[in-house]
């Protein structure tokens, strides 16, 4: 009897703490990117994009008054791009556009090692759509997030976080953030540096798998009567200076030349219009001012590409802002 009473009391306290925790800015900042999925996607979209944080912070279709939807909600692999695209592509009208956003190291990532990286998908994907789904994770992530970490109990009272606000920060901060990004990439991918072609040679198998995955997405998209477009997002000059053209060619441009010469590519990585660090929150994620400058250019270029009917003629393919011809064109 006492055990049952104690269990009820513990459960009641847990529910109260959980109700408090999910109202903290700390928690709200985590679920803010997925609210759009929970609200439901509109139909008859002109365009839908995939992508990770680069796309999440760079793309806002309301800036250009276009019926579009971004599937980006945070750090995301191409494998998850494909799962989300398969789930939601029916919301794009026939003759619409699929914009596949490719971050610089996108081909080097298969899946994030930790199942915790799947956390946000528990809020809007079905169990069978999440490869590493477990019922316990569903309870912890979606229904009782207070259980995710004992620190969440403390966050109910202290360290509750602040509402997320995008900021334009100093050049010094951008330098530090860019250095941290390089350090993080080296650790995450086991890279000795981001300067030499061979630095990522140990990831060649993953690169080939991702190329095949993207090829499948492109071909299936065309079969649906939807136009695929590839886009490399802008990065500030601060971060660009820390990664060599030789390395980027090996992990991104060479694979694109080799397998996707039939797909329109919009490349803004080194575009002079978007090199100013003040357009970014760090070295590579755009802020509101960045989106305001970038989105009209992006939409204009997409329309220009589609209008050229690039699939019908070799000379009409659209390659805007392609990386300089300093690349090794060998296979």
The domain over range 42-134+167-320 is classified in CATH as 3.50.50.60: no
Query: What's the whole-model pTM score?
Result: 0.90
On whether the CB atoms of residues 77 and 110 are closer than 8 A, the answer is yes
Starting from the edge strand earliest in sequence, which strands make up the sheet with 227-232, in order?
68-70, 45-49, 92-101, 227-232, 265-267, 319-320
Q: Which residue has the higher pLDDT, 101 or 6?
A: 101
Cβ neighbours of residue 103 closer than 8 Å, sequence gap 6 or more: 51, 52, 54, 232, 233
pLDDT in tens, 56-107: 999 999 999 999 999 999 999 999 999 999 999 999 999 999 999 999 999 9
pLDDT in tens, 270-317: 999 999 999 999 999 999 999 999 999 999 999 888 755 433 334 434
Query: DSSP characters for 45-97?
Result: EEEEE--SHHHHHH--GGGGT--EEE---SS--HHHHHHHHHHHGGGEEEEEE
The residue among 158, 31, 30, 47 whose CA lies nearest residue 99 is 47
Question: What values do phi and psi take at 229, rounded to 5?
Answer: -135, 135
Q: How far is it, in rounded angstroms, from Cα 121 to Cα 142?
A: 9
Rg of the chain over Cα atoms, rounded to whole angstroms, equals 22
pLDDT in tens, 255-272: 999 899 889 999 999 999
How large a percentage of the chain has pLDDT more than 90?
A: 73
> What are the structure tokens assigned to 214, written together?
């993207």
Bridge partner residues of 49 (DSSP): 70, 99
Q: Per-residue pLDDT for 320 more than 60?
A: no
């Amino acid at each position: 009897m006492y055990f049952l009473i104690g269990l009820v009391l513990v459960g009641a306290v847990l529910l109260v703490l959980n109700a408090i925790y999910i109202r903290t800015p700390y928690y709200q900042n985590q679920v803010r990117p997925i609210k759009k999925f929970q609200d439901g996607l509109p139909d008859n979209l002109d365009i839908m994009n995939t992508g990770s944080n680069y796309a999440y912070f760079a793309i806002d279709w309301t800036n250009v008054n276009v019926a579009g939807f971004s599937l980006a909600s945070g750090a995301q692999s191409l494998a998850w791009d494909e799962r989300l695209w398969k789930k939601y592509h029916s919301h794009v009208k026939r003759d619409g556009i699929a914009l596949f956003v490719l971050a610089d190291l996108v081909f080097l990532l298969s899946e994030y090692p930790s199942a915790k990286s799947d956390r946000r998908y528990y809020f809007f994907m079905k169990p069978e759509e999440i490869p590493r789904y477990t019922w316990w994770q569903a309870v912890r992530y979606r229904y009782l997030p207070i259980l995710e970490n004992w620190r969440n109990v403390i966050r109910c009272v202290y360290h509750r976080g602040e509402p997320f606000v995008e900021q334009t920060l100093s050049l010094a901060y951008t330098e530090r953030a860019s250095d941290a990004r390089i350090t993080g990439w080296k650790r995450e991918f086991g890279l000795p540096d981001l300067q030499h072609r061979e630095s990522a040679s140990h990831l060649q198998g993953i690169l080939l798998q991702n190329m095949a995955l993207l090829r499948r997405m492109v071909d299936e998209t065309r079969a649906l009567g939807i136009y695929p477009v590839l886009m490399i997002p802008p990065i500030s000059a601060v971060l660009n200076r820390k990664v060599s053209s030789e390395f980027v060619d090996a992990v991104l441009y060479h694979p694109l030349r080799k397998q996707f010469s039939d797909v329109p590519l919009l490349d803004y990585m080194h575009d002079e219009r978007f090199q100013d660090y003040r357009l970014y929150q760090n070295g590579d994620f755009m802020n509101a001012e960045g989106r305001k400058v970038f989105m009209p250019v992006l939409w204009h270029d997409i329309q220009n590409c589609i209008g050229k009917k690039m699939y019908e003629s070799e000379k009409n393919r659209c390659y805007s802002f392609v990386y300089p011809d300093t690349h090794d064109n060998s296979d």
